[in-house]
Amino acid sequence: MADPLKEERTAAAWDGPVPMIDLKAQYATLASELDAAIARVVQSQMFILGPEVDAFEREIERYLGVKHAIGCASGSDAILLALMALGYGPGDEVIMTPYTFFATAGSTYRLGIRPVFCDIDPVTYNLDPTKIEEKLTRRTRAIMPVHLFGQCADLDAIGRIARGRELAVVEDAAQIIGATYNGRHAGTLGDAGCFSFFPTKNLGAWGDAGMVTTNDDELAARVRALRVHGGLKTYHHELVGMNSRLDGFQGAVLRAKLPHLSGWNAQRGANAARYRELFAQAGVLQSEGDQPERGKVIVPAVVRESHIFHQYVMRVHATQRDGLLRHLQSRQIGCAIYYPVPLHLQPCFAELGYRAGDLPEAERASRETLALPIYPELPAAAQERVVEVVAEFLRG
């Protein structure tokens, strides 16, 4: 007798390429709202900051439940502005993960602050709080957790360490917009949160864009001044700041997209659940441990109350990772390695004196992880195709 499920799968079979992300698919669902948003800016001729940016800042404050949201030119600048507003500079140290996008450390280092790298938890890929204490020195000023791939770092443990020593917590919230921790939004729980709206983020602009959030009035006032060269009153400067203003087009686009963010995040979560099911059905899911066996995948673990799956990053045996990447590429399946070289081993940070082997979990993650497409509009049939191609390789 015919198997109706099998027939349905065959009927829906996907044989085309699967991109890592499909921003055109998102645009197609919102074209009229987005086009109208752009038209408003054109009509107003207010291109830098202005009413759309003001409105977006107030809407984000309400969405995140935070007192101040200050738009700026990028997530990298948000980190710069937060650290400048906190008053850190040469001679100061900030503890952070080496398993992150370059900007976490790059923006810190540019201010003359020393990034002090601390190893990660192999399950969440976030800063391992049990390893922070040994990194503290009398020059430590802050801890900067990155909520990597859309899952929060252990903010309770990090907060306890920080409070005991009067250290600031600066959240690199570039990948976390919309996730909650103990019922509050990530990026609002530390002294400052630094968001990115790079186009491929869960809430993506149509260009570079970023934001600093804080509940601290004085810190907010300094960030507001620093983004316009340190002077709130034109041509009067109490601080030396920079030009890092959010532009009107980005404010308008982000306003149009914000009401859809929760739905998109939920769809990413549903896609992640589907991957788990499909890998199990294909017989390649490893259900225990963080040491991948050959021929298996370890899918992302959701250990916090929410995960917004900015990226879907799985682990495979190090001897199979690069072969799997090439196999997927040859079948035109989107995939990427986040991140192939941990920051403590980047040539530009050689003077910090780290060696291979110093931060073994971050280094192992760099050898074993691979990201698959997870964007909200990803069709179920395309996911089946991705899993089929992964399984085909792993089964040899």
Residues that bind ligand PLP (CB under 6 A): 74-76, 100-101, 103-104, 146, 172, 174-175, 196, 198, 208, 210
Q: Of the two residues 201 and 317, which places its CB atom closer to ligand PLP in the complex?
A: 201
- In the complex, least distance from residue 107 CB atom to ligand PLP, rounded to whole angstroms: 7
- In the complex, least distance from residue 146 CB atom to ligand PLP, rounded to whole angstroms: 5
312 cis-preceded (ω within 30 degrees of 0) = no
Distance between CA atoms of residues 235 and 305, nearest Å: 47
- In the complex, least distance from residue 234 CB atom to ligand PLP, rounded to whole angstroms: 27
Distance between CA atoms of residues 151 and 49, nearest Å: 31
- In the complex, least distance from residue 86 CB atom to ligand PLP, rounded to whole angstroms: 17
Q: Of the two residues 53 and 389, which places its CB atom closer to ligand PLP in the complex?
A: 53
Q: How crowded is residue 324: how many other Cβ atoms within 10 Å of its Cβ?
A: 19
Q: Of the two residues 143 and 278, which places its CB atom closer to ligand PLP in the complex?
A: 143
Distance between CA atoms of residues 212 and 193, nearest Å: 6
Burial class (CB in 10 A: 0-12, 13-18, 19+), 148: buried
Q: Of the two residues 66 and 176, which places its CB atom closer to ligand PLP in the complex?
A: 176
Q: Of the two residues 104 and 180, which places its CB atom closer to ligand PLP in the complex?
A: 104
- In the complex, least distance from residue 180 CB atom to ligand PLP, rounded to whole angstroms: 18
Q: Of the two residues 251 and 292, which places its CB atom closer to ligand PLP in the complex?
A: 251
In the bound complex, which residue of the shown chain has the CB atom lying closest to ligand PLP? 75
In DSSP terms, which residues pair with 211 in a beta bridge? 71, 195
- In the complex, least distance from residue 74 CB atom to ligand PLP, rounded to whole angstroms: 3
Q: Of the two residues 82 and 394, which places its CB atom closer to ligand PLP in the complex?
A: 82
The answer to whether 374 and 311 have CB atoms below 8 angstroms apart is yes
The answer to whether 315 and 289 have CB atoms below 8 angstroms apart is no
Q: Of the two residues 122 and 210, which places its CB atom closer to ligand PLP in the complex?
A: 210
Burial class (CB in 10 A: 0-12, 13-18, 19+), 198: buried
- In the complex, least distance from residue 98 CB atom to ligand PLP, rounded to whole angstroms: 12
Q: Of the two residues 74 and 265, which places its CB atom closer to ligand PLP in the complex?
A: 74
- In the complex, least distance from residue 186 CB atom to ligand PLP, rounded to whole angstroms: 12
- In the complex, least distance from residue 76 CB atom to ligand PLP, rounded to whole angstroms: 3
- In the complex, least distance from residue 329 CB atom to ligand PLP, rounded to whole angstroms: 22
Q: Of the two residues 100 and 383, which places its CB atom closer to ligand PLP in the complex?
A: 100
